[in-house]
Amino acid sequence: MWVVHSGNLFRLPDDAPLPPGAVTVELPQDFFTSPELYKVEGAGLVKRSDEETRDLEKRLQEATLTGDDIARIKRAIADGRL
């Protein structure tokens, strides 16, 4: 079963007791193929707006390390600077 507790989505065994304050939720059909389209809001799972989805994709692209970034980090570690 899937539950929302304290703003987080968790999977628990079906026979597990429900934590205090947790709410069971049904996942949308496309949740596993496109989980980035959804967010926990209140005691449920809601679909993000198109604008939120675009903003999230943009932030993820900006946060991606390039091969050059990784090489510089490895050199810094090897040199004892990190």
62 by DSSP, 3-state: which? helix
C-beta separation of 9 from 19 below 8 A: no
Backbone conformation region of residue 23, classed left if phi is above 0, alpha if psi is from -120 to 50, else beta: beta
* Domain parsing of the chain, residue ranges: 1-48, 49-82
C-beta separation of 71 from 78 below 8 A: no
Taking only the tens of pLDDT, the chain with its 82 residues reads 999 999 999 999 999 999 999 999 999 999 999 998 999 998 899 999 999 988 888 887 777 788 888 899 999 999 998 8
C-beta separation of 61 from 52 below 8 A: no
